[in-house]
Structure 1
Amino acid sequence: MPKAPTVEDVAALAGVSRQTVSNVLNTPEIVRESTRERVLSAIDELGYRRHAAARRLRLRRSSAIGIRLDPYVGGVSGVVLDRFVHAVTERASERGMRMLVYAARTPEEELARLSELWEGSEIDAAILTGTVQDDPRVRRLDDQGVPFISFGRPWGEDDIADPVHLWVDVDGAAGTKAATEHALTFGPGVAFLGWPAGSGTGDDRERGWREAMHAAGASGARLVAEESVQAALGQIDAALHDGQRLDAIVCASDSLAVGAQIAVSRAGRRIPVIGFDNTPTAEALGFSSIEQHPEDVAAAILDLLMGPTGDVVVPRQVRPGAAHALIVPELVVR
């Protein structure tokens, strides 16, 4: 059996020191680009892969990243997060990292679980999901010194120009803006069916609709419903009964879009409905929706946590332009 390539083999082929190879693997940002490319080419040519168990023992790292598994809710909700967890697990494995999945039903339970995992050296970092305005988890993890990155902005804690934390998010406003621009081709009366004010994600998606409507000089109804098919159905039923002009409906989620679609069908109307999440339900029912690309979110999260080619979590200076990634979603027209 041929001998597995070593760091020394990579260094010899690339014409660099062993330390330079280590830097490329762990802190690539400090290595000159031409040198980094030469080392990466040598790694590919030799098929080098670090032994994860030996690395954990040597560096006293767990080589694991913690992420909460949300309670099962069924229906349309949760599909995007499920795709994200699968994607980040696959991509972490490619880097020699493991995902440690834990259950928690409340922010307090999650914080307690993360504290145990961090103090027990079972994780090197955590990924937060479902961030909200003034998220209590953010400050607590800061106080405990737990490295983390969030899928979703820690709303109210920082912004793009003055960053405090690492985060990756989907540009919801860009998604609903594209959806509204498409919806306006059916007429100026484009309604937005969203969540009650105060949700960072919901407000961001509403902003995209407002920007597109303002640019077109159009006006449309803003309708509000809790995140359920039945609530959305009731709102659209009422709007149709009141005689509101609905040339098209842009929704903050596919769950709301399903309710809107049912209401429109029951009324015998042909009104285009556009959702957000591009779930299998949107495809099955045949309405347009915004694809978030959670696989791209997963890749960006690991890049920020570990560097573009790193295989360990490394401390990262949080500065404008290097602490965040906004993934541009895609309108899927049906």
Structure 2
Amino acid sequence: MLKRDKDGAEAGVDGGTPTASIADVAAAAGVSRQTVSNVLNAPHRVREETRRRVEAAITALGYQPNRAAQALRAQTSRVIGIRIESIQIDSLTTVHDRFLHALAEAVQAIDHHLLVFAADDPDDEIGTYTRLHRTGAVDAFVLYGIDEDDVRPRQMLHLGAPFATFGRTGHDTDHLWVDVDDETGGAAVAQHLVARGHRRIGFVGWPEGSSVGDRRVAGLRGVLDKHDLLGECAGLDLRGQDEIANGVTLGGILLDRPAPPTAVVAASDTLAVGVVQAARARGLVVGRDLAVVGFDDTPTAGVFDLSSVRQPIEAVARSIVRALQPHLPAGGTPPQPETEPSTSEVFAGRLLAPTLVVRASSAAATPR
């Protein structure tokens, strides 16, 4: 069994060997207990030489701080909460899973933990945030899947809890957000296909009103307009839910047209896989007879040798944690600086550029 000493370190009982206390570390390093505490909780306040000496003593003595006691004294939970999305049947999208993993790593880098929970709907989600905030169980929150008219940020502002969002609404001047520049992604796809000689380019996307899907097609159309191709692409924009079956159906409709497109851009890899299946069912060879490009660069894209726009999910997670850190009760050590994708600062947020990954599905020139 273990008991805690007054310094928050663990000490053995029943014959166990006691571990080092914060006083032991201070004595070994020749500093005060407060300096040791600063090294653990606010290393930026300590000179580098002193910090290294204290860290060496911590390692040599095997000191293990009592995080629960530290959190209690600081009146912080050292926890960040996020709602997990429900599983979508017939969808290949793994962006949410990638984001959760990246966010957990970024949160851990500042000595916090990630709390995930399920909710039936947005009202239930906000209700859970409210309970967690008022009980002090969570220091801050991350909201996922923000759309144009999302009411959750306004509700969180009313609650008064620190939060940041992955995504933007139409009025993001008053809270922290990080998002991917989907319009730039759509433009990169269009430039890629036009450079390979395609003039009839179709789009299979989500129903209008999805801010992410609308931005992706807006970027595509912007480039087509610059090349005077909107007329040739007229009527080649079809929408449906993000399911493989819809990709098959919508892709088939485009390919059965008297003048079918030579390239199809899909708003997601899920829809793109459906388009690929529709093409194969008609005896077409993707990459030779038809170019197909998706979004999100899921593992499935690699399996299908599918060109796709990759979101910088890991950078999004790190940026969200950096944005939240000054608003956390305990602060923490920020993730190490590193090279990030190109960005532009917008209001209280940060916009990250995606990257087009070109594979065999769109690498060839337009079929003749």
Bucket of the pairwise TM-score, normalised by the shorter protein: 0.7 to 0.9
Structure 1 partner of 2:222: 211
Q: CA deviation at 1:117?
A: 0.6
CA distance in 1, matches of 2:268, 2:248: 13
- Pairing 1:332–2:357 present: yes
Measured against aligned partners, the alpha-carbon deviations of 1:72-113 in whole angstroms (never above 9, x if no partner) come to 224434411101101111221121101111111210111111
Check 1:331–1:6 CA distance in 2 against 1; reply closer, same or farther (3 A cut).
farther
Aligned AA (2:242): E
Q: Is the 8 A contact 1:127 1:149 kept in 2?
A: yes
Check 1:137–1:289 CA distance in 2 against 1; reply closer, same or farther (3 A cut).
same
DSSP-derived class of the 1:131 partner: coil
Q: Is the 8 A contact 1:305 1:313 kept in 2?
A: no
Structure 2 partner of 1:323: 348
TM-score with structure 1 length normalisation? 0.82
Moved more, 281-290 or 129-138: 129-138
Q: CA deviation at 1:321?
A: 5.2
1:292 to 287, 311, 334: 311
Q: Is the 8 A contact 2:83 2:116 kept in 1?
A: yes
Structure 2 partner of 1:147: 162
Check 1:100–1:298 CA distance in 2 against 1; reply closer, same or farther (3 A cut).
same
DSSP-derived class of the 1:55 partner: helix
What percentage of aligned pairs have identical amino acids?
31
Q: CA deviation at 1:217?
A: 2.4
Structure 2 partner of 1:32: none
Aligned AA (2:294): G
CA distance in 1, matches of 2:228, 2:29: 61
Check 1:8–1:216 CA distance in 2 against 1; reply closer, same or farther (3 A cut).
farther
Structure 1 partner of 2:210: 199
Check 1:9–1:141 CA distance in 2 against 1; reply closer, same or farther (3 A cut).
farther
Aligned AA (1:46): E
RMSD across aligned C-alpha pairs, in angstroms? 3.5
Structure 1 partner of 2:290: 271
Structure 2 partner of 1:91: 106
Larger radius of gyration: 2
DSSP-derived class of the 1:168 partner: strand
Residue correspondences, number: 313
Matches within 5 A, 1:94-173: 94-153=109-168, 155-158=169-172, 163-173=173-183
Check 1:169–1:43 CA distance in 2 against 1; reply closer, same or farther (3 A cut).
farther
CA distance in 1, matches of 2:117, 2:179: 22
CA distance in 2, matches of 1:199, 1:41: 53
Q: CA deviation at 1:129?
A: 0.6
Q: Is the 8 A contact 2:164 2:177 kept in 1?
A: yes
1:178 to 173, 179, 188: 188
Aligned AA (1:268): G
Q: Is the 8 A contact 1:95 1:311 kept in 2?
A: no
Q: Is the 8 A contact 1:76 1:281 kept in 2?
A: no
In proportion to residue count, which structure has more helix? 1
Gaps of 5+ in 2: 1-18, 59-63, 334-344, 360-368
Check 1:146–1:93 CA distance in 2 against 1; reply closer, same or farther (3 A cut).
same
CA distance in 2, matches of 1:273, 1:157: 34
Q: CA deviation at 1:7?
A: 9.4
Measured against aligned partners, the alpha-carbon deviations of 1:58-82 in whole angstroms (never above 9, x if no partner) come to 2100110010111222443441110
Aligned AA (2:290): I
Aligned AA (1:76): S
Aligned AA (2:321): L
Q: Is the 8 A contact 1:149 1:165 kept in 2?
A: yes
Aligned AA (2:180): V
CA distance in 1, matches of 2:27, 2:351: 38
DSSP-derived class of the 2:221 partner: helix
CA distance in 2, matches of 1:131, 1:40: 45
Q: CA deviation at 1:268?
A: 2.0
Q: Is the 8 A contact 1:166 1:323 kept in 2?
A: yes
2:74 to 59, 64, 73: 59
Moved more, 228-237 or 116-125: 228-237
Check 1:217–1:55 CA distance in 2 against 1; reply closer, same or farther (3 A cut).
farther
Moved more, 52-61 or 92-101: 52-61
Measured against aligned partners, the alpha-carbon deviations of 1:255-312 in whole angstroms (never above 9, x if no partner) come to 1101111111112222111000111111111111111121111111101001599962
